[in-house]
Structure 1
Amino acid sequence: MLLKINPKKHRIKVLSSRWRYRLLPLISLVGISLWAGCKELQSYMVQPEAIFVLGGHEEREHFAAQLASRHRDLPIWVSSGSPQSYAKKIFREAGISSARLYLDYQARDTVTNFTTLVDTFKKQGIDSVYLVTSANHMNRARFIGEIVFGTRGIILKPIAVECDRPPEPFKKILRDVARSLLWLGTGKTGETLIVP
């Protein structure tokens, strides 16, 4: 008994397999682009319920105080910012009531800015926030925030504070995205693994 092999059929299967591997990056890119577009649209359309300031530079708090004076009904959360007395002074001088101001000092870095407060926000019914941080820090903060806050359905509306510092390196973004994904799976941020 002789087996007949159809070379054309075999060739088509090989080409199909090759095309799948070539199309995979393109399909992934389209999927990521659609996800990012949806997030942008959500961010544009949402009416934030709080102002969330990532500590680290006092100009962020000054900017948040100005923002808070235009949005008089929103609570302001500052995560690991200036020392308490100084932060309160910034907001007091802008005419912001201390009853609206929440200072939280649990976070040690950008990932923990989000992970330490995400459940607090959710318990308070906060589903959207103005995210205030420096322009050079916004990309990393936004990636982390979309992952961590996204798990609880909290939408970010980023507002970057202008600064003269250069953008952060891409490897820092990748590292903290990996730490955010680690938090998703384990509840731990890998904070102790960071080399200063």
Structure 2
Amino acid sequence: MVLKLGLQRRSGAVHQSSQHRVSLWFLPLVVLALIVAYKQVRMIVAEPRAALVLGGLEARESYAAQLAHDDPGLEVWVSSGSPEAYVQGVFASAGVERDRLHLNYDAEDTVTNFTTLVDDLEAAGIKSIYLITSANHMHRARIIGEVVLGSRGIVIKPLPIEEGGIAQESWAKSMVDGGRAILWLFTGHTATELKEDLGQKLRSW
């Protein structure tokens, strides 16, 4: 009888320990799910008063100019886009006042599109922003933007531009640039010199 009770107690202890381990594994998943849900809700309810255009294709600037025309209160930041005179002409043709257009040519790539402007956006009191880039580029841009702009509490609302004939970017690019964004968060540097080397290593895996 004593042996039986001992085995029952041991079985109960093992069962409780197993439940405890399951709960410890489950808790981080719940927290992660809540964070993702919170970000999604913030993105849905956000009403940006500014747009960030990632330079690279003229179609992005034209799209942003039309968006600013339809929303007279919207200000637009263009990061390393087409030549200044051309961009100004696109927005002027759309009837967008020059003082609503902010041009910056300091960025060398997608990571620096964000890191060279985040201080200006924060100083302007921007809490949410439309992110305008090509659909095939949006995934990588959002990963970087969530790190860089998210560190200042700025919510991103993506507005991808569909363009035919352009392949989706590789996951390796997103991983490399996501890592560079995190590095910037802790050090203030984007490790541009490591970009190509890391990309080559990831593609070889």
Q: TM-score, normalised by structure 1?
A: 0.86
Q: Does 1:52 align with 2:52?
A: yes
- Deviating beyond 3 angstroms after TM superposition, the runs of 4 or more aligned structure 1 residues are 6-9, 15-20, 26-33
Offset of 1:34 from its aligned partner? 2.7
Offset at residue 29 of structure 1 (A): 4.5
Is structure 2 residue 68 aligned with structure 1 residue 76? no
Conservation of the 8 A alpha-carbon contact between 2:176 and 2:195: no
Aligned match of 2:125: 125
Question: Structure 1 vs Structure 2: percent identity of aligned residues?
Answer: 45
Deviations 1:66-108 (A, max 9, x none): 1111111111100011111111111111111112111100111
Letter in 1 for 2:77: W
Query: Residue 178 of structure 1 corresponds to which residue in structure 2?
Result: 179
Per-residue deviation, 1:18 = 10
Q: Letter of the aligned partner of 2:172 in structure 1? A: K
Q: Structure 1: give runs of 5+ residues left out of the alignment.
A: 1-5
Amino acid at match of 2:168: P
Q: Distance in 1 between matches of 2:172 and 2:14?
A: 40
Aligned counterparts of 2:70 and 2:29: Cα–Cα separation in 1: 38
- Equivalent residue letter for 1:130: Y
* Counterpart position of 2:111: 111
What per-residue deviation string (whole Å, max 9, x for no partner) do you get for residues 109-131 of structure 1?
11111111111111111111111
1:31-69 CA distance string (max 9 Å, x none): 433322211110111111211111111111111011111
After superposition, the C-alpha distances for 1:147-179 in whole angstroms (9 at most, x for unaligned) are 111111111111111112122111111111111
The amino acid across from 2:157 in the alignment is K
What is the alpha-carbon distance in structure 2 between the residues aligned to residue 163 and residue 23 of structure 1? 45
The answer as to whether partners of 2:112 and 2:190 remain within 8 angstroms in 1 is: yes
Q: How many residues align?
A: 189
Matches within 5 A, 1:1-196: 8=10, 12=14, 16=18, 19-20=21-22, 24=25, 27-164=27-164, 165-195=166-196
Question: Which of the two has greater helix per residue?
Answer: 2
| TM-score of the aligned structures, taking structure 2 as reference length | 0.82
Q: Identify if the C-alpha distance between structure 1 residues 17 and 45 changes in structure 2 by more than 3 Å, giving closer, same or farther.
A: closer
Secondary structure of the residue that 1:194 maps to in structure 2?
helix
- CA gap of 1:130–1:35, structure 2 versus 1, over 3 A, is same
Distance 2:65 2:169 in 1: 25
Structure 2's unaligned 5+ residue stretches are 1-5, 200-205
Q: 1:35 to 1:18 in 2, by over 3 A?
A: closer
